[in-house]
Chain A
């Protein structure tokens, strides 16, 4: 496929999903085992814990050209590392306000709790996030045009 044909194709959002190893990544696997279908727009990066995610990485993902970001961890109280997801929750609550201040649509940043048992929930969240980001259009705010 050459470059021009890519550009001709209808725009599809690309979403980076940071999933914690113990719950949400397992939930994504379960969606597969159960064959729940969802849009092919996400690219998963497996991280040990949602508490591993710093706002910097999310900004970097947007800078790299991601149209949306999803961070998903264990439900509160279920964290494999005792409290990592709670730190993530606090961090991102504040981060969301900063993002708005920067003029980035908050809908580009998505957080969810998905357990290892919630395959269907995973598929549902991916569908919702994909639709939300698609409606916002391409993210250009942080991307340097060369």
Chain B
């Protein structure tokens, strides 16, 4: 390990003048999210990634549950944003060697290993990999395919730059040999002399997001992994399913490339297993991903697939998870509650034979074509070493240890953690954690916001309104990517003859920095007022070229691209003539369209730099404090006369911390905070405006102006009145009622000889199909508390599946070891509760012993779930946000925007989103605050420029446009009876334009006029 070289000791950290930059370690989804949140709220970010590209494990996944979104598709825009961000510096192939200093003033020593390819020159044409003679296992496909020694980590890699793997490169290992890549590279990017560089970065905070490693089952001999070719891990299976994987998305098994017809999933491989893998915890995500993989595989096979999942407990406790599980059952996925103990090769055909005992203890044997091991998550060796180097403590399961009430804070001040590194978790929780870590990181750095960031400055724009079109066409060779198929010179000359075209040029690489500079100069010199670039796709390159227009002093919307690579040369490789004609057509279309483009305003809305938080529970108070601590004024509105919400009734967290002292502490903080305006016994009655400028009317008659709003209105316990003697017998309680006895009068419980808990009381049934996720853990915590009060007490837990996910599994193991008895029931064998005299009688069926069991508990606890509040619908209408079918608030995107509403500037946290434990609520509240801080730290927020506009002379006021607008951005102005657009809300989808029967609405620059110009130009073959 290297240490930081001697340098003048920087002044001791000054809390009013901390470093305005943050180091984020790890470029997976968590690190990327933390980096974006920090950079977008005024901090410079160094993003250190160990491999050659950011993206992490998520980029390897095929689909994501529960939406079945394509993983790469939803991830890629975030990666591109990260890659292009002026205030994020991505350091690939790099690692953090050491960290000195203290919060606000750290010095981080980072080593960047050589890439051997100059990223400023590489244009990712791939010719190097084409020529490279060295085939090596592709780690991105977990060795299921081959790549070359010079490689791109994956097709959408950011940065999109090749790298040479020094372990395999012939030239690097035997100087003088090979070197083919250097010869073929058209950009001269290969640099065999590249060396490692060490750099000291001054940062105020550090966020660790090293992610997880999938458990390696090689040592679990019984699984056959490594011996049997058709036993794969779940991560390998993701690659087999993925369209960018080794079978191009058409699932084939490794041994013979046959399409498997019978697949088995084995759950808990490397999880919930103290014996063989040493992993006592539950990995949280494997039940869901196994179901997802089974569903996707079955869909891909058009149903012609038998999929079996072998599990201990089916753990689907998250939002929409239980519904996903139920749908999988309906789709014919079979679920077996069994732990498979033997996996054997079958006699024929490399099939896999498994042996297991079914629920009735009968031994069974089944044959499969392919077996998937649902491997657990663990912290990688590298991450453990990193934690060690930084003095960051690990928990007993070798995940990074965190504080119960500050769930992303490590033991080292100023160092925060997010993602699966602090415990196995799925993508939404990792993203939430990441935003929460961003919040903690910026909390102490807020005085230095915008001190280290760069701001792009553009020259004033030339007014082109009076000018006749002078279109400049830039045709790209893209090395040989376009030019090897399309006759670029002919296309260039053709473009010169098009009406309105003032100039047409061809370039080897239009996107290279020198061409970009040249383009800006040409626009200025030639007085161009429209630009067409014929090259690759606008999806990746439009922002770059548009910026060039702004650099050259013209409006960026006077631009159009012709996609002659991705949608031409690459897809018509064997038809050069037709591809050349198509390129001409595409340019003619682009020229015709761009001539009708007009300069558009860069819309923005000034920001009122204060927040409204609705709901004064733990989530609301944390959200309010998180913003107020950064100096943003907060109005906190609470319906009741006291703060604290649900937590007032809550005894102990699952980690074992007593809740009430913590609650008292944060209530004090909120009540005494100078930046928090607390309004008790107050509700929201009206909301006007949009992000940046809300005006909200409160029930006390006042109006609050605020830039953002966070909704944290909580939820309720389900109270099963009249069922299971609830409300009828004084010794029948729901969980939080027992907690109150623990708080107020624990002694009264000491004399009990028997207690019974009924799990899933009123949950996972048709009336309330979702799983609340927290009741199993809560019930077991209470059972252990009872055991502590009276070790001789008999405690029975009647359950359906025990869902103690993550490190909570420890409680389940402890409960079993303490003699608490778990008896499973199912919907066909519901426990019966009745009263005999004053006594409670519980009759249950033991499904394993197949015998009736009669219990006489002195205490019956109903582990009922959480239900949404009835008044949430009203609030959601006021803030124009949605509610899911379960009745909880619906976030903008289940995976990647877990605390945002689809409505900009409105965020959510806590139980109103979905049932969750207190640490998760706090993380979510901090995440919501981090997202809100992005808006609050700006003076103005950008609004969509390509918006709809109404010609009121044509408008008949029919109102169709108002019905089709998903954003309530267009409305009929009652004064004139005509439609008008609220530009701040309009997203530019054009639904209203298509809906208008009077041709009164148009979309700026994508109006019917512009579209038709392109269409007609496409048909125009006369001037060939």
Q: A26-B73, A29-B537, A120-B249 are in contact. Are A51 and B990 (CB under 8 A)?
A: yes
Total residue contacts A-B, CB cutoff 8 A: 153
Are B249 and A56 neighbours in the complex by a CB distance under 8 Å? no
Contact flags (1/0) for A17-34 with B, using CB distance below 8 Å?
Answer: 010010001101101111
With an 8 Å Cβ cutoff, the count of chain B residues facing the other chain is 56
Are A82 and B1018 neighbours in the complex by a CB distance under 8 Å? no
Are B571 and A36 neighbours in the complex by a CB distance under 8 Å? yes
Q: Which residue of A lies closest to B71 (CB)?
A: A117
Bound Cα distance from A1 to B1018, whole angstroms? 17
Q: Which residue of B lies closest to A65 (CB)?
A: B1019
Q: A61-B1015, A87-B964, A91-B994 are in contact. Are A33 and B566 (CB under 8 A)?
A: yes
Q: Is B1006 an interface position by the 8 A CB rule?
A: yes
A101-131 contacts to B, CB under 8 A, are 115-120, 123
Q: Is B586 an interface position by the 8 A CB rule?
A: yes
Q: Is B10 an interface position by the 8 A CB rule?
A: no
Q: Which residue of B lies closest to A12 (CB)?
A: B578
Q: A51-B989, A52-B1003, A123-B571 are in contact. Are A45 and B566 (CB under 8 A)?
A: no
Q: Which residues of B contact A35 (CB under 8 A)?
A: 570-571, 573
Are A52 and B585 neighbours in the complex by a CB distance under 8 Å? no
Bound Cα distance from A98 to B987, whole angstroms? 31
Q: Is B1016 an interface position by the 8 A CB rule?
A: yes
Are A117 and B72 neighbours in the complex by a CB distance under 8 Å? yes
Are B991 and A84 neighbours in the complex by a CB distance under 8 Å? yes
Q: Which residues of B contact A18 (CB under 8 A)?
A: 1011
Contact flags (1/0) for A65-98 with B, using CB distance below 8 Å?
Answer: 1100000000000101111100110010000000
Are B579 and A40 neighbours in the complex by a CB distance under 8 Å? yes
Q: A29-B566, A33-B566, A116-B73 are in contact. Are A48 and B990 (CB under 8 A)?
A: yes
Q: Is A43 an interface position by the 8 A CB rule?
A: yes
Q: Is A133 an interface position by the 8 A CB rule?
A: no
Q: Which residues of B contact A134 (CB under 8 A)?
A: none
Are B563 and A81 neighbours in the complex by a CB distance under 8 Å? no
Q: Which residues of B contact A65 (CB under 8 A)?
A: 1019
Shortest CB-to-CB span from A21 to chain B, Å, is 8
Shortest CB-to-CB span from A2 to chain B, Å, is 8
Q: Which residue of B lies closest to A78 (CB)?
A: B69
Contact flags (1/0) for B846-887 with A, using CB distance below 8 Å?
Answer: 000000000000000000000000000000000000000000
Bound Cα distance from A54 to B992, whole angstroms? 10
Bound Cα distance from A57 to B1003, whole angstroms? 14
Bound Cα distance from A88 to B964, whole angstroms? 10
Bound Cα distance from A80 to B1024, whole angstroms? 38
With an 8 Å Cβ cutoff, the count of chain A residues facing the other chain is 54
Are B571 and A32 neighbours in the complex by a CB distance under 8 Å? yes
Shortest CB-to-CB span from A47 to chain B, Å, is 7
Q: Which residues of A contact B813 (CB under 8 A)?
A: none
Contact of A83 among B966, B1014, B1021 (CB under 8 A): B966
Are B1018 and A16 neighbours in the complex by a CB distance under 8 Å? yes
Shortest CB-to-CB span from A37 to chain B, Å, is 6
Residue among A29, A91, A115, A120 having the largest count of chain B Cβ atoms under 10 Å: A29
Are B1015 and A16 neighbours in the complex by a CB distance under 8 Å? yes
Q: Which residue of A lies closest to B964 (CB)?
A: A87
Q: Which residues of B contact A14 (CB under 8 A)?
A: 1018-1019
Q: A37-B571, A66-B1019, A87-B994 are in contact. Are A45 and B1008 (CB under 8 A)?
A: no
Q: Which residues of B contact A135 (CB under 8 A)?
A: none
Q: Which residues of A contact B539 (CB under 8 A)?
A: 21, 25-26, 29
Bound Cα distance from A16 to B1018, whole angstroms? 8
Q: Which residue of A lies closest to B586 (CB)?
A: A43
Q: Is B762 an interface position by the 8 A CB rule?
A: no
Shortest CB-to-CB span from A132 to chain B, Å, is 19
Shortest CB-to-CB span from B387 to chain A, Å, is 36
Q: Is A64 an interface position by the 8 A CB rule?
A: yes
Bound Cα distance from A3 to B1024, whole angstroms? 8
Bound Cα distance from A83 to B968, whole angstroms? 13
Q: Is B303 an interface position by the 8 A CB rule?
A: no
Q: Which residue of A lies closest to B578 (CB)?
A: A40
Are B1011 and A57 neighbours in the complex by a CB distance under 8 Å? yes
Bound Cα distance from A89 to B855, whole angstroms? 59
Q: Which residues of A contact B994 (CB under 8 A)?
A: 51-54, 87-88, 91
Are A54 and B1015 neighbours in the complex by a CB distance under 8 Å? no
Shortest CB-to-CB span from A87 to chain B, Å, is 5
Q: Which residues of B contact A57 (CB under 8 A)?
A: 1008, 1011-1012, 1015
Q: Is B912 an interface position by the 8 A CB rule?
A: no
Shortest CB-to-CB span from B123 to chain A, Å, is 15
Are B571 and A52 neighbours in the complex by a CB distance under 8 Å? no
Shortest CB-to-CB span from A109 to chain B, Å, is 14
Contact of A28 among B567, B991, B1015 (CB under 8 A): B567
Q: Is A60 an interface position by the 8 A CB rule?
A: yes
Chain B residues within 8 Å of A, Cβ to Cβ: 69-70, 72-73, 155, 243-244, 248-249, 537-539, 563, 565-568, 570-575, 578-579, 581-582, 585-586, 589, 902, 946, 964, 966-967, 987-991, 993-995, 1003, 1006, 1008, 1011-1012, 1014-1016, 1018-1019, 1021-1022, 1024
A-B contact pairs, 27 of them (CB 8 A): A18-B1011, A21-B539, A29-B567, A31-B566, A32-B566, A33-B566, A37-B571, A38-B571, A40-B571, A40-B572, A45-B1014, A46-B538, A47-B1011, A52-B1006, A54-B995, A54-B1008, A60-B1008, A60-B1015, A64-B1015, A64-B1019, A65-B1019, A66-B1015, A81-B989, A83-B991, A84-B991, A87-B991, A87-B994
Q: A33-B155, A33-B566, A83-B966 are in contact. List 7 more A-B contacts (CB 8 A).
A: A43-B582, A48-B988, A49-B989, A51-B990, A51-B994, A82-B902, A116-B73
